[in-house]
Structure 1
């Protein structure tokens, strides 16, 4: 089945560019913070001024770009994604930009379609974030070990240790890992909850609807709180495997046929 995602192309791609720029600014800022420790103002006044001004500009750029991503690019992309989600769940065209080939369960009732779509989303999110977390854990562990090694050895200037602490405890290392792990754990919780819901199949429609909407709320809140952009390269690599797994889940839970 062919798949198209104009929302990713038109909205998440811009968020990806902003995220990449943020990573580059962070790396440049980290280098400048260390450079400032080795360029003495008395010996190299001009170089010292350049480093300090450049660091200030990078810090300002990180602040502005971070706010712009959190308050514009990310909410804008997520709003479009939710429009598409509910368009598929209720079979109404809330937007002319619609994905094709992603939400393919055959449930008739809108609430059951909504629950199945959330189950599908949580499956992909928990697996993609797990893959991303493995790399993020290695990076965070490496930075922590280097920082602790420098602090314990007592061979390095306090300024260097403080600069490394700023890097390790920054938004791009530890905080990013925590947000990623949070999204992964919440996605796993939602997946297990919805899988159990379809498996037990409560006869009371109100109970099913309330539980499905509750799980959807948990999933959406986790995405907003984490504000984490999923890696498109990881998605492309895992998509065939996850699509096959989703097909098996649909068969197991009888989602591929009309209820």
Structure 2
């Protein structure tokens, strides 16, 4: 079956674009916040005014873009993805253009299909997060060691050191890394729980199984919402073929089958 995912281009590409704009505004503000301290206001008043004004605009742009992302782009994208997910599980079109071949299972019982799809999501999510964290951990080590080196250097200007600390421990750097580690841990635990549930259950129509599947879906979606992170599209495309093979083997092992898909 050819893969068709209208939710991604319509909702997640605009979300990714908005996040790039917000990140650019953050780094511009970070650079200018240090630049303002390095410019002599008395000898270069015009340059100081330009940098100060640009800094103020970039801060406002970052603030507005962050709010818009959280209250509009991210909510819209996640809501439509969940609606598409439920549409697939119950074969009910809750969205105008449901995806095809995006969730890879041949299970027909709705709650079993839902449990299998959540398990597949956790497999992809935890694998992509592990790869994202390679870069994130390296970057954080570099930044923290550089900041500590500057902090222990007596010649470092304290104002510059304070500004760099604000940037380093902002939501875009240290906080983002911590949230990424937290989400990886949550998804890995959920993956293990769902695997054990599907492996040990024989009556997929029991109330207990259905309740645990719904609880797993809620844990997955609330964890993503609380972390407030978007997975790397580049890594998804890079790992998709290998992870699809892993999922196919896992689904066959659990006896829930896997539909044949083509690589994006």
When the two structures are superposed, what TM-score results if normalisation uses the length of structure 1? 0.96
Measured on the aligned residues, the alpha-carbon RMSD in Å equals: 1.2
| Aligned position for 1:86 | 86
For residues 104 and 156 of structure 1, the distance between their equivalents in structure 2, rounded to whole angstroms, comes to: 56
Deviation track 1:105-147 (CA, whole Å, cap 9, x = no partner) reads 1222111111111001111011111111111111111111111
Q: Displacement of 1:97 after TM fit? A: 2.0
- Asked if 1:247 corresponds to 2:253, the answer is no
Q: Displacement of 1:159 after TM fit? A: 1.1
Bigger relative CO (Cα 8 Å, ≥ 6 apart): 2
Deviation track 1:13-48 (CA, whole Å, cap 9, x = no partner) reads 001001111121112111101111110211111111
Whether the 8 Å CA contact 1:30–1:167 is kept in 2: the answer is yes
| Aligned position for 2:143 | 143
- Asked if 1:40 corresponds to 2:40, the answer is yes
For residues 19 and 111 of structure 2, the distance between their equivalents in structure 1, rounded to whole angstroms, comes to: 34
| Aligned position for 1:227 | 228
Whether the 8 Å CA contact 1:202–1:208 is kept in 2: the answer is no
Q: Displacement of 1:71 after TM fit? A: 0.5
In structure 2, list runs of 5 or more residues that go unmatched: 259-264
Range that drifts further, 159-168 or 102-111: 102-111
Whether the 8 Å CA contact 1:3–1:100 is kept in 2: the answer is yes
Q: Displacement of 1:224 after TM fit? A: 0.6
Whether the 8 Å CA contact 1:6–1:99 is kept in 2: the answer is yes
For residues 211 and 73 of structure 1, the distance between their equivalents in structure 2, rounded to whole angstroms, comes to: 30
Structure 2 residue matching 1:153: 3-state secondary structure: coil
Q: Would you identify which runs of 4 or more consecutive aligned residues in structure 1 move more than 2 Å?
A: none
For residues 5 and 239 of structure 1, the distance between their equivalents in structure 2, rounded to whole angstroms, comes to: 14
| Aligned position for 2:111 | 111
Deviation track 1:202-239 (CA, whole Å, cap 9, x = no partner) reads 54711111111111111010011011111100000000
| Aligned position for 1:191 | 191
Structure 2 residue matching 1:29: 3-state secondary structure: helix
| Aligned position for 2:133 | 133
Q: Displacement of 1:90 after TM fit? A: 0.3
In structure 1, list runs of 5 or more residues that go unmatched: none
